[in-house]
């Protein structure tokens, strides 16, 4: 880590098992992460990969089976949730149905026995922050989904935590509201300067909102990086496949020099990559469709036959067969009528710049 400040949250080789014996479930397997202060950090992964479990460990609802967690440099092992400088926005919001909006937001402050005047001021401030002024006296049942979500946010923020944990806070909202709340969350994160740990299984959401993303699968963290790192330079087959569309090609490394390596996908189809691999190893290559270049009559490139052409508005996806056996797709921007440039049955030449060809681990 480049910066000297202690990590806002540090997760050190944490494992979590549920149950014991033969039917034990390993929800987290040696997860290590270091979150920087003021960071919008996203945990991204498919259902059941352990995202909620990791949040619950940080919040203190569960204890790790192995490893340790530090918040602001302090180990928190054994600390109950109410002693941790962390608050959670639950996936189900978990608003107290028998309390008004204002009472919900005031709850944490009342538990910490703050003076009444301070509570009133903080509640007003938080409701203004999430733009819910005027709804103080409503009950959760009288609010829309987006409004409930904001109350949950205000309630967690009112406690002035150091770290805010958000467990798929937007998954219950419709698309439009979701976009709105994404912007809202970013605005609030800027305004408060807090560390946000945001859980989602929506890759688009993760890419647009995060400072950094940890991609999880099967209880492990596969890759941590900026959205650009994750998208442009995936390290694992799973990461490349989970985020965006990708072409995955099985290949064998046949040559290797300072500028990278050459890999053979099939007879006559050789691809250059900027990464290096030992000659003779089997590798998986990931190539984003939009980095693929298609030409009708280029002298270089691999020959491919067009199978289908699909129009997507801003771009067109061309599905091809490489060397008669490998399916492959390219995405062409719809400028100058690209959709009419290719038709099924055409023979085209395909190429990709070496830096767009990534060697990924399985």
Ligand X SMILES: Nc1ncnc2c1ncn2[C@@H]1O[C@H](COP(=O)(O)OP(=O)(O)OP(=O)(O)O)[C@@H](O)[C@H]1O
* Nearest C-alpha neighbor of 102 from the set 146, 138, 62, 64: 138
* The only residue of 52, 87, 195, 235 in contact with Mg ion, by rule CB under 5 A: 52
Residues 186-205 vs ligand X: string with x where CB under 6 A?
---------------x----
Q: Among residues 88 and 235, whose Cβ is nearest to Mg ion?
A: 88
Residues 6 or more apart in contact with residue 120 via CB below 8 angstroms: 106
- Within 119-278, strands assigned E span 163-167, 195-200, 212-217, 220-225, 247-257, 260-266, 269-273
8-state DSSP, 236: B
Pairing label, strands 293-295, 347-351? antiparallel
Q: Which is nearer to Mg ion, 52 or 195 (CB)?
A: 52
Q: Per CB under 6 A, does 49 bind ligand X?
A: yes
Residues 9, 84: Cα–Cα separation, whole Å: 12
Roughly what angle, to the nearest 10 degrees, separates helices 145-157 and 116-129? Answer: 140
Q: Which of the stretches 46-54, 267-275, 295-303, 353-361 binds ligand X when contact is defined by CB under 6 A?
A: 46-54
Q: Which residues bind other proteins (CB under 8 A)?
A: 59, 61, 80-82, 86-88, 90, 92, 94-99, 103, 107-108, 111-112, 155-156, 159
Cβ 22 to ligand X, closest distance in Å? 14
- From 113, 110, 105, 107, select the one nearest 136 (Cα to Cα): 105
Task: Give CA 311 to chain center in angstroms.
Answer: 28
Torsion of CA 228, 229, 235, 241, to 10 degrees: -10
**Closest separation in Å from C-beta 331 to ligand X:** 28
What mask of x and - would describe binding to ligand X in positions 17 to 36, judged by CB under 6 A?
-xx-----x-x---------
User: Could you give the CA distance from residue 342 to residue 249 in angstroms, rounded to a whole number?
Assistant: 23
Specify the residue, 105 or 286, whose C-beta has the smaller distance to other proteins.
105
Q: Using the rule CB under 5 A, give the single segment among 51-59, 78-86, 230-238, 349-357 that binds Mg ion.
A: 51-59
Q: Hey, how many other C-beta atoms are within 10 angstroms of the C-beta on 1?
A: 9
Q: How far is the CB of 53 from ligand X (least distance, A)?
A: 3
With respect to other proteins, which residue has the nearer C-beta, 171 or 333?
Answer: 171
CB of 8 to other proteins, least distance (A): 18
Smallest gap from Cβ 178 to other proteins, in A, equals 22
Q: How far is the CB of 65 from other proteins (least distance, A)?
A: 20
- Minimal distance, residue 11 CB to ligand X, in Å: 14
CA contacts within 13 A on the Cβ side of 319: 9
DSSP 41: E
> Which range touches ligand X (CB under 6 A), out of 7-15, 45-53, 232-240, 303-311?
45-53
Least Å distance, CB 155 to Mg ion, is: 20
User: Which tokens is 176 given?
Assistant: 């439009």
Work out what residue 339 binds among Mg ion, other proteins, ligand X, none; the CB cut-off runs from 5 to 8 Å by kind.
none
Sheet holding 25-35, edge to edge: 25-35, 9-18, 66-71, 74-75
What does the binding site for Mg ion look like in residue numbers (CB under 5 A)? 52
**Binding residues for ligand X, per CB under 6 A?**
18-19, 25, 27, 45, 47-53, 201
């Amino acid at each position: 880590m480049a910066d000297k400040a202690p990590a806002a949250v540090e997760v050190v080789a944490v494992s979590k098992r549920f149950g014991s014996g033969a039917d034990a479930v390993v929800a987290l397997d040696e997860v290590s992460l270091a979150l920087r202060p003021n960071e919008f950090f996203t945990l991204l992964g498919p259902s059941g990969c352990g995202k909620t479990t990791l949040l619950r460990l940080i919040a203190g609802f569960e204890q790790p089976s192995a490893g340790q967690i530090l918040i602001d440099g302090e180990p928190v092992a054994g600390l109950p949730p109410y002693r941790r400088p962390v608050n959670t926005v639950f996936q189900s919001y978990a608003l107290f149905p028998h309390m008004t909006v204002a009472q919900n937001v005031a709850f944490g402050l009342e538990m910490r026995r703050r003076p009444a005047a301070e509570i009133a001021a903080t509640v007003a401030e938080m409701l203004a922050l999430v733009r819910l002024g005027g709804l103080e006296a409503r009950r959760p049942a009288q609010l829309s989904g987006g409004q409930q979500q904001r109350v949950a946010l205000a309630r967690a923020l009112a406690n002035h935590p150091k770290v805010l944990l958000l467990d798929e806070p937007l998954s219950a909202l419709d698309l439009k509201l979701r976009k709105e709340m994404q912007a809202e969350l970013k605005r609030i994160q800027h305004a408060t300067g807090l560390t946000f740990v945001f859980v989602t299984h929506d890759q688009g959401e993760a890419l647009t909102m995060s400072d950094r993303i940890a991609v999880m699968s099967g209880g492990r963290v596969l890759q941590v990086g900026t959205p650009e790192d994750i998208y442009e330079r995936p390290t694992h087959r799973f990461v490349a496949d989970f985020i965006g569309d990708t072409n995955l090609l099985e290949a064998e490394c046949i040559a290797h020099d300072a500028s990278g390596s050459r890999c053979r996908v099939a007879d006559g189809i050789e691809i250059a990559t900027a990464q290096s691999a030992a000659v003779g190893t089997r590798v998986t290559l990931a190539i984003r469709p939009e980095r693929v270049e298609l030409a009708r009559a280029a002298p270089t490139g691999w020959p491919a036959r067009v199978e289908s052409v699909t129009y997507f508005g801003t771009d067109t996806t061309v599905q091809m067969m490489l060397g008669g056996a490998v399916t492959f797709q390219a995405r062409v921007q719809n400028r100058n009528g690209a959709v009419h440039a290719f038709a099924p049955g055409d023979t085209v030449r395909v190429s990709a710049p070496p830096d767009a060809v990534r060697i990924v681990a399985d």
